[in-house]
Amino acid sequence: HAEYGWMMHEEGESGVAAHQLELAVAAVAAGGGNLRGAVAACQVASQFSNHAADPNDEPELADYRFRLAQVYWTLGGGKRSERGTGAHAALLAAAAVPGRHQAGAFGWLGRWYQEVAHDAHRAIKCYQRSVSLDPTQEAAGCELVGLLV
């Protein structure tokens, strides 16, 4: 589901992408291959409203959440702007888990705090964390410099 979802996002089909990535998140969260559990968990996976980031989540799950956050961002509206759900919650969950996605998740979280929440202090902290994890995070570095000058 995840690869197909990401491919659909790149093709501009963000609604389909969100659905596929929500299924992927639900499947991994339910233990991988349990389809019934994945379908049941899918109802909760798209909300993230009561989800506290679990540092024991697997990097694969965090990577899917990071991709899902980017799709939610593209969809806009409440999926982008509501605190504690949608992009915000998916980014928080992804940023909490070490892995290849973590620096990017912090960069996008910084963007969320800067553009949506208008919280420069938190944006700076997120951009700093992104660049400290991966100095090649150009967008985070540029935004950080812009906020500091």
Q: Where are the alpha helices (DSSP H) in 46-119?
A: 59-75, 78-81, 86-95, 102-115
In the chain the domains, ranked by start, together with CATH numbers, are 2-148 (1.25.40.10)
Q: How far apart are CA 141 and CA 149, in angstroms?
A: 12
Does the pLDDT of residue 105 top 50, yes or no? yes
Whole-model pTM: value is 0.81
Give residue 129's Cα distance to chain centre. Answer: 15
pLDDT in tens, 50-102: 444 444 547 899 999 999 999 999 999 999 999 999 999 999 999 999 988 99
Q: How far apart are CA 35 and CA 10, in angstroms?
A: 26
Q: How far apart are CA 92 and CA 19, in angstroms?
A: 20
